[in-house]
Structure 1
Amino acid sequence: MDKRTPLSSLQNPLVKKLLSLKEKSRERKKTGLFVIEGKRELELAISGGYQIESIFICKDINTELDVHSNFPVIEISRKVYEKLAHRSTTEGVLAIAHAKSHTLNAIALSKRPLILVAEAPEKPGNIGALLRTADAANLDAVLIANPKTDLYNPNIIRSSVGCLFTNKIAVGSSDEIIAYLKENNISIYCAALTASKNYDELDYRNPSSIVVGTESSGLTSEWLENSDQNIIIPMQGQIDSMNVSVSAAILIFEAKRQRGF
C-alpha cells in the first residue's frame, strides 16, 4: 500500500484522470485505459489476463485489500471514492486497467465452436446481460457486429458483473464477422420472425453461431441474406418478441442441451 496521505482532492490530476476515463468513451479509446470498480470485477480482470496500471482503495470502506499486492495500490478518501464510484457496494476498490485488442483473428476456436453474435447492440444493460449468459454457457466467443458503444463503458462492466473479462470477445463489422464465420465453416442461425423454423428443430451440435439483433428492429438484411437458417422462439401470448438477452439465453441453452452441456 502506498504510504502517502490518501488522495482527497477532487482536483488531483490522478483523480481527474479516473473521472475522465469513467465518463468519456473518447478518453478510453485515446488512452487504451479504462476503470474497473469492485473487488470481484478486479479479480476477474486479473484472472482474465488484463494488465492493471493502478489499484485505488478507500480504507474507510475496505481496511485491507487481500489480493494482488504486486500492483501499485493508492489510498483515496471516501469523498474521492464516492465521486468516482457508480455503486456504494463495491468494497471501496477501483482500478485503472489496459484494454485488450478485440480482433477476430485473436479468437482461438475449439473444434465445434458455439458462438453468440450480437448485431449493433445499443443498451449497455443488454450487452452486459448477453455477456453474463455467454459466461454461464461457457461459449467459445461473443462477436459484436457494428457496436454502438465501447466495450469498456462502466455500465457494461457493471451489468455484466465482470463477465466482460471472462468471455472471449471480438468486435467487427457485419461483413467482417460474416466472412469470419464462413471461413471457419460455422453455421449462421439468425433469430428472426420471417422464414424461420422453431429454434428447437435445428441441430446445433456442429460449429454454430446464434445471431441476435436489436429489440426494436431485429437483424439487418445483410445477416438475413447470409443466414443458413432463421430461427424463432414461438410466442404464446400477445407479443411477438422478448428481451434480446432472454431470447439469446433460450437459444444458447437449447444448443448446449443438444451438446450434452
Structure 2
Amino acid sequence: MRAVEELLRSPIAPTGVIVAPQLLEAPRGAALRDAILRAGVPVEEVAARDFHTAAETESPQGVLAIAPVPAHTLDDIAAADGLRVVVLDAVQDPGNVGTILRTAAALGAGATVALPGTVDLWNAKVVRSAMGALFHHRCLNATWDELDAFQRRVGLSWWVADAGGTPLGRTPPPARLGLVVGNEGAGVSAQARERADHIVALPIASAV
C-alpha cells in the first residue's frame, strides 16, 4: 500500500490499478482508492482469489499499480552541486537493494547506479522494500565503462566500502563522491578496488 501511495505522490503517472475487496476493509485503503480515482487512474476491481494469483506476496494488501519505469541517465545528475552517487556492485538480495535505495534517497544522494550482476532495480521485492523511494530517487543501470566516462567528465572520487577500510568519518568527503557497495558474500569486485580513491568502513560492533 505504501508503494502505491508514494507512486501517486511522485511525477510518475500510473497507467492502471487493480484493487481487491480487502483494500477497502481499512480507512487507509479506502482513502487510497479514493485518491486513485481522483487522480483519474483507471481502476479494475477483481475478486480476492483472482488478485492473489497476480500478487507476489502471501498476504497482499489489495492494491497493485501499473506504471512506466522512468528512464534516468547519468547526464541527469552531472551538473548537481555536492554530487553523491551510490553504486551497487553485484548486490543480489532484493531486500538489501531496496533498503540501500531508501537510505540513499533519505540521505540526499543524486542517484543509485546498478552495475551488471546486481538484481533488477524494479524487481517486485526491491520496490516493496524501497517503500516508494524508487519513485522519487533516480536509479539506473550502467557499466564500469560508462561510469569511467562519467567520472572523468564530472570529477567524481570513488570511495569503496569494505570492512578493512579506513573508518568512515576520519576522511572528509570530497565535493563529488561515488560510494561503491559490494556483493553480500564476495564484497566489492576487483574492478571497484582498482578504481578506488579511498577504501572506507562503517564502524560496527565486532559481533555483527
Q: Which residue, 35, 39, 60 being the options, matches 1:67? A: 35
Per the TM alignment, residue 95 of structure 1 is displaced from its structure 2 partner at its CA by 1.6
In structure 2, the partner of 1:251 is none
In structure 2, the partner of 1:218 is 187
Percent pairwise identity: 26
Q: TM-score, normalised by structure 2?
A: 0.84
In structure 2, the partner of 1:143 is 113
User: 1:203 and 2:172 equivalent?
Assistant: yes
Q: Which amino acid aligns with 1:99?
A: V
Q: How many residues align?
A: 199
Change (3 A) 1:87 1:109: farther
**CA offset digits 1:35-66 (Å, max 9, x no partner):** xxx2x212322333223221111135326411
Change (3 A) 1:198 1:43: same
Q: Which amino acid aligns with 2:169?
A: D
Change (3 A) 1:148 1:187: closer
Q: Which amino acid aligns with 1:200?
A: G
3-state SS of the aligned residue for 1:135? helix
Q: Pairwise mapping of residues 1-261 of structure 1 onto structure 2 (< 5 A)?
A: 38=1, 40-62=2-24, 64=30, 65-69=33-37, 70-85=40-55, 86-88=57-59, 90=61, 92-107=62-77, 109-193=79-163, 196-204=165-173, 206-234=175-203, 237=206
Structure 2: segments with no counterpart, 5+ residues: none
Structure 1: segments with no counterpart, 5+ residues: 1-37, 243-261
Whether the aligned pair in 2 keeps the contact of 1:145 and 1:177 (CA below 8 Å) is no
- Segments of 4+ in structure 1 off by > 3 A? 106-109, 233-236
Q: 1:136, 1:235 → 2: CA distance?
A: 21
TM-align CA RMSD = 2.2
Per the TM alignment, residue 193 of structure 1 is displaced from its structure 2 partner at its CA by 4.9
Q: 2:129, 2:142 → 1: CA distance?
A: 22
Q: TM-score, normalised by structure 1?
A: 0.69
Larger gyration radius, structure 1 or structure 2: 1
